[in-house]
Chain A
């Protein structure tokens, strides 16, 4: 494994007329990494992927693959291959000919092509289906053929454009694990574009979150979840309660934070709180809140309120609680243990939070 990043994006920018689709994206990917570009639709993530593939030319900036500048190299000469959102299975060819497409016509011996095609099909668990017609494949099978057709080319980087969005929920979850497993056993760098936060979190080594053409944060899934950089990222990844807060640093360097409903709390040694602004925005994940009928002991801050809504999610129960004197309801989610307490709308409850659960989101933006 070399130190050269397998993909190096340098100040990548793409403008369509006056509209800036991608602005100043810089990013280095390690060899063998599973990287996801995550963001809402229209955020520019697909444009970044297509610039890596060579389908779109950057307005400025550079794409380097394995240290080599790709500016003058067209898509058909790049060491990348793509799995398209629609899978783009050639309808006039059978499965074997689809997978062999890229190997034909470049002086590779027939026996070797057959060998590589059958290996690739085995890899995606479609072994022996060479002669199946493309029009007879199910959605999941089409996805596997698209994977095999790209992987048989032995690309340095595999690009995946929303690869699971066309599949139903159960199949999607199964394919998440299979693709992750495939990627790890092959050691090929995968770059996936998705708008689904769970897909990105379950599969990726690192995630890049994009909004309005900008790459806002790049981190491992657990870091992204624990320390979102701003409100937009926090809102996009998982659920989050946003609270305006007054913060004061005391003599010992600890922080004195006042939040609506919860009152004052001392925060000491919390890596998620760094900015020492007077007017801050803090976030608390719903699952980090304790909900109880009586005032909970051993919490750094507590608040009293009334249950407004209950939503049953199976593994979790989600409550929305109106704190006394606060307008915006607070979301709290608790695991659905068989003996779990069951509150109803209108019940008086207490919420408890630990100082370690408070995330500093900087100024309200």
Chain B
């Protein structure tokens, strides 16, 4: 019993340390004052109201959506085909390539960012949203591959054979059986890779040039104390959106594994 209590205290402290700062963000976004410190001066929604009027912010949001959606599309479609090959086929170099795909998870972001910048400039691709999309797709691929691999793990290979046996062409089989069966996995992968890209800072900072994504924009605003409450409001909105997206993604991931069981 004593040991359990010790664990309880440890857990509470751990969670508080982890999440209290995150909770302070939305708290101060409702504070009627520009200084981020207790006591709270009063409650206001002004910081949220002002968000809609800032063109540079909306511009950055637009950039982030373009980058996020394109990255999610690229990474998810590559992940879909790669995962199917990994689960279904045996080929030389399979283990090596599976390891290689997962590599971005462990390489420090700063290394990836600086080497990509050097690479892109040397092949004539200037820092731009295109460069960010390529970089983010690289970072997001391990997520989409592992989500799609678990979708294909639960997918009985004879379903595709059955469709082919019933007269479907290879393409028809893909469209009428493979895609619908792994659809929850695709949705889940799309949402997760979108979130990975949307929250990413280091690569975007190096590669975005004069087209900042939202995290890069926020970073640039933090230097101006007067803008800080706005940034807090924006951060709170993003926090809520990210959590919602991940919950939805998890729902689809679970649905995909329970469905074919």
Write the residues of chain A forming the contact surface with B, with a CB cutoff of 8 angstroms.
Answer: 53, 55, 75-77, 80-82, 84-86, 88, 90-92, 101-102, 105-106, 135, 149-150, 153
Interface string of B46-79 (1 = CB under 8 A from A): 0000000000000000000000000000000000
B259 touches A53 (CB 8 A): no
Q: CA separation between A81 and B168, bound complex, in Å? A: 12
Among the listed B161, B165, B181, which residue makes an inter-chain contact with A91, where contact means beta carbons less than 8 Å apart? B181
Closest to B166 in A: A102
Q: CA separation between A92 and B172, bound complex, in Å? A: 15
Closest to B159 in A: A88
With an 8 A cutoff between CB atoms, is B164 at the interface? yes
How near does chain A come to B18, taking the closest CB pair, in angstroms?
38
With an 8 A cutoff between CB atoms, is B167 at the interface? yes
Among the listed A76, A84, A91, which residue makes an inter-chain contact with B167, where contact means beta carbons less than 8 Å apart? A76
Chain B residues positioned under 8 Å from A88 (CB to CB): 156, 158-159, 161-162
Closest to A53 in B: B165
Interface residues of B in 216-235 (CB under 8 A from A): none
How near does chain B come to A161, taking the closest CB pair, in angstroms?
9
Which of A77, A84, A88 has the most C-beta atoms of chain B within 10 angstroms of its own C-beta? A88
Chain B residues positioned under 8 Å from A102 (CB to CB): 166-168
How many chain B residues sit at the interface, stated as a range, is 20 to 34
Q: CA separation between A149 and B166, bound complex, in Å? A: 8
Q: CA separation between A90 and B182, bound complex, in Å? A: 12
With an 8 A cutoff between CB atoms, is B163 at the interface? yes
With an 8 A cutoff between CB atoms, is B260 at the interface? yes
How near does chain B come to A148, taking the closest CB pair, in angstroms?
12
Q: List 7 A-B contacts (CB under 8 A).
A: A84-B161, A88-B156, A91-B260, A101-B168, A102-B166, A102-B167, A153-B166
With an 8 A cutoff between CB atoms, is B245 at the interface? no
- Asked, given contacts A76-B169, A91-B259, whether A101 binds B181 with beta carbons under 8 Å apart, the answer is no
Closest to A159 in B: B165
Can you add 15 more A-B contacts, CB < 8 Å, to A101-B163, A102-B167?
A53-B165, A55-B161, A76-B164, A80-B165, A82-B161, A82-B162, A88-B158, A88-B159, A88-B162, A91-B181, A91-B259, A91-B260, A92-B180, A105-B172, A153-B166
B interface, by DSSP: helix, strand, loop or mixed?
Answer: helix
Which of A75, A80, A86, A90 has the most C-beta atoms of chain B within 10 angstroms of its own C-beta? A90
Chain B residues positioned under 8 Å from A135 (CB to CB): 259
With an 8 A cutoff between CB atoms, is B102 at the interface? no
- Asked, given contacts A91-B259, A91-B260, A135-B259, whether A76 binds B156 with beta carbons under 8 Å apart, the answer is no
A76 touches B161 (CB 8 A): no
How near does chain B come to A165, taking the closest CB pair, in angstroms?
14
Interface residues of B in 163-191 (CB under 8 A from A): 163-169, 172, 176-177, 180-181, 183
How near does chain B come to A338, taking the closest CB pair, in angstroms?
49
Closest to B173 in A: A76
How near does chain B come to A192, taking the closest CB pair, in angstroms?
16
Among the listed B156, B158, B166, which residue makes an inter-chain contact with A101, where contact means beta carbons less than 8 Å apart? B166
How near does chain B come to A97, taking the closest CB pair, in angstroms?
10
- Asked, given contacts A88-B156, A90-B159, whether A82 binds B165 with beta carbons under 8 Å apart, the answer is yes
Among the listed A55, A81, A85, A86, which residue makes an inter-chain contact with B166, where contact means beta carbons less than 8 Å apart? A81
How near does chain A come to B256, taking the closest CB pair, in angstroms?
10
How near does chain B come to A85, taking the closest CB pair, in angstroms?
7
B164 touches A75 (CB 8 A): yes
Closest to A77 in B: B167
Chain B residues positioned under 8 Å from A76 (CB to CB): 164-169
Chain B residues positioned under 8 Å from A90 (CB to CB): 159, 162-163, 177, 181
Q: CA separation between A347 and B118, bound complex, in Å? A: 92
Q: CA separation between A75 and B162, bound complex, in Å? A: 10
Closest to A102 in B: B166
Q: CA separation between A86 and B162, bound complex, in Å? A: 10
